[in-house]
Structure 1
Amino acid sequence: MTGRRRALAALSAVLLLAALTGCVELPEKGPVVETEPSAQVAEQQAAAIDAIPPQEGDAALDIVNGFLNAMTAYPVQANVARQFLAREAQAAWNPDDATIIYGDITDPSADVGGRNVSVTLGDPESLDGRGGWQGPLPADRHRLTFRMVVEDGEYRIADAPDALIVPAQWFSQRFRQASLYFFDRTAQILVPEPVFVPRGEQLATTLIDGLLAGPGERLSGVVRSFLPPNVTVGLSVPISEEGVADITLVGDSGQQNPEVVEKMLAQLVWTLRQEPSISAIRLQIGDERVRLPDGVGEYRVDAAPEYDPTGYQASRLLYGLVDGLLVSGELDTLAPAEGPFGDTGYGLRSVAVNLPATLAAGVTDNGRSVLLAPVRAEAGEEAPQRAVQVVSGATRLLRPSWDFADRLWMVDRTPSGARVILREGERLRGLQVPGVTGQDVRSFVVSRDATRFVAVVRRDGVDRLLLGRVQVDFRGRVREAVGVRTMTFEDADPVRVTDIAWTSPTSVALLSEVVPGELFEVRTVVVDGAPAGVEALSTTVNEAVLGLAGSPVPGARQYAVTGEGVVDLLTSRILELEGRPISLGYVG
């Protein structure tokens, strides 16, 4: 792990430990589970920093050094930093376009003649204007060169990168991860987009600014926004003592019909519920207070549950195969399902249940076929319906994935590499996925909102994580996979990932072998590839683990599935099951 990544991870680990602290039961028997120490840690407000303006007679090196130091002012502002620039450069410089984070930096050095001053950044990575993670900067951008001029007898910078340039440690203390909520292309479900935003009183304003900036061209065909494109938020978003945030949008918004207003409000309340002090919002566009047809003008932040990115009214029960039969229920009440898979042993190796828990897709033991069957018997039926074969002649199918639109995603590991198969309605078709198709794919999951996929691909004996997006057309039909990123693990030894599972709409857990058959590690990563997040905690289990049972629903328990039961990854509690579990998980 680089110095910059360690600095960014430090605060996240502290926050996660605080969130996970609770009653921990010590197991009386079973495997030993080791986790990071846990303690009640209160989040501290970072100290204010006053920027120092340029001083009379400063040398060129001092001006560059002062400019970089001035960008660490807190609360975040660039007014003093702008004073180090030449007059024309002051007007052109836009530090809101991006953020560059570095682990260390060299002292400024000037070329012969002193016309240019340069610094070299160590481990620099960047964010876009909304705070979205962009990853490492290419090597040719590690060195920053500032052209110097003399104005009124003083050195000034003639041009500067359009970015806030700050140290990683400063950044980790003053920024936090949050999400901006947009809609999927069909406007049926909300999609969170992870961003880093400054802490403090301006959090609500920053989040609204990010929403108004829109998802950008990179996410065209993936998500959409219903907020007017030509408006800006007022000077700030005041929050009353009662927790009501007043949002005023300024500019030409055009006519908004009730359906658009409803979607707009859904984006706002889901985004602003991340600010604990806000319980409701009021929205005004121009001089007009926005109201729904029933006249309501104040909207609680827990409204719009029907757009939940984890699936509206999706089942929260566990489903899996125990002794060859489909079981469902809470962990202590697992029982055979009423449908065909719970009544008859079909010889399944894995099973996936759709979000409303009406259909189950099972992969046969030889990995060559997929059977589809209802989870429960229809009302009035004495015997469950039979399973239907929907895929045959495959080579070695991985466990399928369902999304909110009842699409079934399957990956067949053929001798020539992976083949992605998609079932939309009753139609099967192949889908070319960059970095996945034709490769040695070990795991593949799709997010419930159907806009993301995560795959584990093995190349030259090394596992890599592929993170990509899914585009659909205006009818909701999957068009293509785009924006694929590869994440390489920085461990000294190659990581062997044996399973992956969603732990939130924007993060996945990875199960990897540390000592084959004996010691397993569970770690979490954020889907945008950011190196740190509030989920960044490592857990080890001293027993053979078959797979993970993970859910993106807030508060859902995450489990490591063993040959005899499960290990609760939050409490370390060992829970034995009656029968032999083959696989266990949540819907999706």
Structure 2
Amino acid sequence: MSRRRPWALAVVVTAVTLVLSGCVRLPESGPVVETRSAGSLDDQPIINIDPRPPQPGASATEVVKGFLDAMTATPIQTTVAREFLAKDLRTSWNPQRRLITYADASPPRLRGPSKVAVTLTSADQLDARLAWQGRLPRSKRVVDFPVTMENGEYRIEDAPNALIVPETWFEQRFREVSLYFFDPTATILVPEPVFVPRGDQLTTALVKGLLRGPGTELDRVSRSFIPPGLDYGVSVTVSDAGVADISLKGDVSPENSQAVDLMMAQFAWTLRQDPAVRAFQVTVGGQQIQLPGGVSEVSVEEGAAYDPTGFRSSSLLYGLRDGLLVSGTASGLDPVDGPLGQDREGIRSLAVNLDATRAAGVTDDGSAVVVAPVHAPGTEVRQEASGASDLLRPAWDFADRLWLVDRTPGGARISYVWHDRLTALQVSGITGRQVRGFLVSRDGSRLVAVVHRGRAGDAIMVSRIKHDDQGRVLGAERAQRLVWEGSGRLRIRDLAWRTTTSIAVLNLVGDQLAQVRALPLDGSPPAIGSLSTTLPGNIEGLVGSPAPSEDLYARTRSSLRDLSSSGSGLQNLESGTTALGYVG
């Protein structure tokens, strides 16, 4: 899609049946320039489009144009589009395979006596699950439509198995949401962004997306406990009381009570994105699924133990003050009673694990990492890694893996400490590069890094991490670069989590001017109303969390500026406060 402006989106897959079958509240002091959208697309009516069928005597180029126009039918359907196809193609054409959007398309033109071509500009693609796949390869942007004569009229003899639509049409009719699957150990939920049609069928779209599963491309990254081969029928109904009735057809049921619990957690976390649903019940092959205790009506607030931001993870801020570990809130930080809060160990950056029981600090020279309990006076400080060149701030995931990136003269080396063992991990596109900062998602499935590319500026790279069902790291996918809308080289000073599937990026646009922008990690354009703010002054970093209840801050040497919608402005920091962050 064109990157000329942010636009709204939100997640899943009903389209593939038919179609395919806040503004940010800124600090109260100091001049700030905010970029915002004028409302939500969900509040705007969708205009129906009734495309014209093929007209008698239409030329070959007119038939191709009519075919493209017919794919924009609203409500979404492809009945009219199929009328432009040759008889043999009408039944085999499958627009559910892919969705292609474009900013502009050239007028159809003849390429020989029996072929019409259309050139797509700024074209992007989504797969059959409606998961974002990024820019359409250059070699695919000229689309050929061979034509033939049937009963004296031109008809299209071959066409891509895809719905091909303008990006403006797509952004008005689709939104992005998350489908929730599990990590390979079935311990924590892993959100996977997809797109779904707007309208009153959101619950049906969410259920359909879950039934499709995460797909083979996410093997060893996420898994589903909803048995394969099930079908939801015509639609999922929601009662006036807000109870979704999920009646699944099929002969396969969850294997045991644990599998039932995990399946219901997937439904709960996914369906809570629909404000019309407060609870749900599931039947498989006419048999009602129940949780232990005979509970059949399940609240969408169930499944807290599998929270993708970490079950009972600490919401406090942690940092250093004059070299000692402190914790608290933006309005006040106090030394912890563990060894790092009582004795100066000479550390420059740190990370605290999700339940705030252990802290890892990088020594002042960047050569080693020490780990100690956050609380537990008198305990020893352990050295977990040594002999490094220049370690970045570390990160923890839900399994208490401690992730490290060492900036060696030969480029970045990525490793992790788990069960007292240090293991290297090769991540193509990041390993060996000049890395300026990194994040690891709390669910352990995503690694994000800022890679410096010399005169080309910085780039944000994202990789997916693979595990087995015992939690062992198996490898990482080749990192993909996120597209940044706008001109000029990026000078990224910091990254922070914004949600479980998006980050906040601090980009320097001048000596005393910085931009903070939210970016989805699937590479799709930012949604309308997403964070995009320009801040004056020397902004040193960001403090952010994937948890929706925890605020995002821009950090200066002496203060925190609240950038979240619930924020209350500026908080002063005591002198000597550094390395602030949430757990993870």
User: Fold conserved (TM > 0.5)?
Assistant: yes
Where do 1:305-344 residues align within 5 Å? 305-344=304-343
**Aligned residues of 1:468 and 1:481 also touching (Cα < 8 A):** yes
Match of 1:224, SS state, is: coil
Residue 21 of structure 1: how far off its partner (Å): 5.9
The answer to whether the aligner puts 1:452 opposite 2:452 as a matched pair is: no
Which amino acid in the other structure matches residue 443 of structure 1? Answer: G
The answer to whether the aligner puts 1:20 opposite 2:23 as a matched pair is: yes
Match of 1:341, SS state, is: helix
Where do 1:187-586 residues align within 5 Å? 187-254=186-253, 256-377=255-376, 383-461=377-455, 462-516=457-511, 518-533=512-527, 536-570=530-564, 571=567, 573-586=569-582
Residue 262 of structure 1: how far off its partner (Å): 1.4
Partner of 2:116: 117
Residue 274 of structure 1: how far off its partner (Å): 0.9
Partner of 1:66: 66
Cα distance 1:534–1:36, how it changes in 2: closer, same or farther (>3 A)? closer
Cα distance 1:255–1:497, how it changes in 2: closer, same or farther (>3 A)? closer
Residue 255 of structure 1: how far off its partner (Å): 5.7
Match of 1:57, SS state, is: coil
Residue deviations 1:193-237 (CA, integer Å, cap 9, x gap): 111111012222222222111111211111111112112221011
Cα distance 1:87–1:38, how it changes in 2: closer, same or farther (>3 A)? closer
Which amino acid in the other structure matches residue 4 of structure 1? Answer: S
Residue deviations 1:399-434 (CA, integer Å, cap 9, x gap): 000000000000010111111121011111211111
Which amino acid in the other structure matches residue 525 of structure 1? Answer: L
Cα distance 1:263–1:435, how it changes in 2: closer, same or farther (>3 A)? same
Cα distance 1:40–1:189, how it changes in 2: closer, same or farther (>3 A)? same
For 1:542 and 1:367, the matched residues in 2 are separated by: 30
Residue 364 of structure 1: how far off its partner (Å): 1.1
For 1:391 and 1:111, the matched residues in 2 are separated by: 64
For 2:247 and 2:85, the matched residues in 1 are separated by: 33
Match of 1:5, SS state, is: coil
**Aligned residues of 1:433 and 1:481 also touching (Cα < 8 A):** yes
**Aligned residues of 1:376 and 1:384 also touching (Cα < 8 A):** no
Cα distance 1:580–1:32, how it changes in 2: closer, same or farther (>3 A)? farther
Match of 1:583, SS state, is: strand
For 2:128 and 2:207, the matched residues in 1 are separated by: 13
Residue 32 of structure 1: how far off its partner (Å): 3.2
Residue deviations 1:441-460 (CA, integer Å, cap 9, x gap): 11111000000010011122
Residue 26 of structure 1: how far off its partner (Å): 2.6
Where do 1:4-153 residues align within 5 Å? 4-6=2-4, 9-11=6-8, 19-20=22-23, 26-27=28-29, 31-37=30-36, 43-113=43-113, 115-153=114-152
Gaps of 5+ in 2: 11-21
Which amino acid in the other structure matches residue 469 of structure 1? Answer: R
For 2:46 and 2:32, the matched residues in 1 are separated by: 34
For 2:306 and 2:195, the matched residues in 1 are separated by: 23
TM superposition outliers: structure 1 runs of 4+ over 6 Å? none
Residue 68 of structure 1: how far off its partner (Å): 0.7
Which amino acid in the other structure matches residue 494 of structure 2? Answer: D
For 1:163 and 1:445, the matched residues in 2 are separated by: 35
Cα distance 1:539–1:221, how it changes in 2: closer, same or farther (>3 A)? same
Residue deviations 1:120-156 (CA, integer Å, cap 9, x gap): 1011100011111101111110011111122233222
For 1:530 and 1:40, the matched residues in 2 are separated by: 20
Which amino acid in the other structure matches residue 495 of structure 1? Answer: L
Residue 569 of structure 1: how far off its partner (Å): 1.5
Residue deviations 1:516-549 (CA, integer Å, cap 9, x gap): 3x22221111111112235643212212122111
Which amino acid in the other structure matches residue 419 of structure 1? Answer: R
Match of 1:211, SS state, is: helix
Cα distance 1:40–1:109, how it changes in 2: closer, same or farther (>3 A)? closer
Cα distance 1:429–1:187, how it changes in 2: closer, same or farther (>3 A)? same
Cα distance 1:153–1:523, how it changes in 2: closer, same or farther (>3 A)? same
Partner of 1:380: none
Partner of 2:17: none
Match of 2:211, SS state, is: helix
For 1:469 and 1:125, the matched residues in 2 are separated by: 21
Residue 38 of structure 1: how far off its partner (Å): 7.3
Match of 1:233, SS state, is: coil
**Aligned residues of 1:565 and 1:581 also touching (Cα < 8 A):** no
**Aligned residues of 2:320 and 2:577 also touching (Cα < 8 A):** yes
For 2:166 and 2:480, the matched residues in 1 are separated by: 25
Partner of 1:587: 583
Residue 256 of structure 1: how far off its partner (Å): 3.1
Which amino acid in the other structure matches residue 292 of structure 2? Answer: P
Residue deviations 1:252-297 (CA, integer Å, cap 9, x gap): 3256321111111111121111111111111111221212232111
Which amino acid in the other structure matches residue 309 of structure 1? Answer: P
Match of 1:334, SS state, is: strand
Residue 474 of structure 1: how far off its partner (Å): 2.4
Which amino acid in the other structure matches residue 577 of structure 1? Answer: L
For 1:103 and 1:476, the matched residues in 2 are separated by: 43
**Aligned residues of 2:498 and 2:552 also touching (Cα < 8 A):** yes
Residue 56 of structure 1: how far off its partner (Å): 2.7
**Aligned residues of 1:525 and 1:535 also touching (Cα < 8 A):** no
For structure 1, which segment, 51-60 or 175-184, has the greater mean C-alpha deviation from structure 2 after superposition? 51-60
Choose between structure 1 and 2 for higher RCO, CA contacts under 8 A separated by at least 6 residues: 2
Instruction: Say what the alpha-carbon RMSD is for the aligned residues.
Output: 1.9
Match of 1:4, SS state, is: coil
**Aligned residues of 1:508 and 1:525 also touching (Cα < 8 A):** yes
What is the number of residues matched between the two proteins? Answer: 569
For 2:574 and 2:328, the matched residues in 1 are separated by: 13
Residue deviations 1:5-42 (CA, integer Å, cap 9, x gap): 235x24469xxxxx2366x6632xxx533322576667
For normalisation by structure 2, the TM-score amounts to: 0.94
Residue 81 of structure 1: how far off its partner (Å): 1.2
Match of 1:352, SS state, is: strand
Which amino acid in the other structure matches residue 51 of structure 2? Answer: A
**Aligned residues of 1:321 and 1:327 also touching (Cα < 8 A):** yes
Residue deviations 1:355-410 (CA, integer Å, cap 9, x gap): 00000000111111111011112xxxxx4323111111111100000000000000
Identity across the alignment (%) = 48
Match of 1:533, SS state, is: coil
Partner of 1:16: none
**Aligned residues of 1:33 and 1:572 also touching (Cα < 8 A):** no
**Aligned residues of 2:541 and 2:556 also touching (Cα < 8 A):** yes
For structure 1, which segment, 59-68 or 463-472, has the greater mean C-alpha deviation from structure 2 after superposition? 59-68
For normalisation by structure 1, the TM-score amounts to: 0.93
Match of 1:81, SS state, is: helix
Which amino acid in the other structure matches residue 26 of structure 1? Answer: E
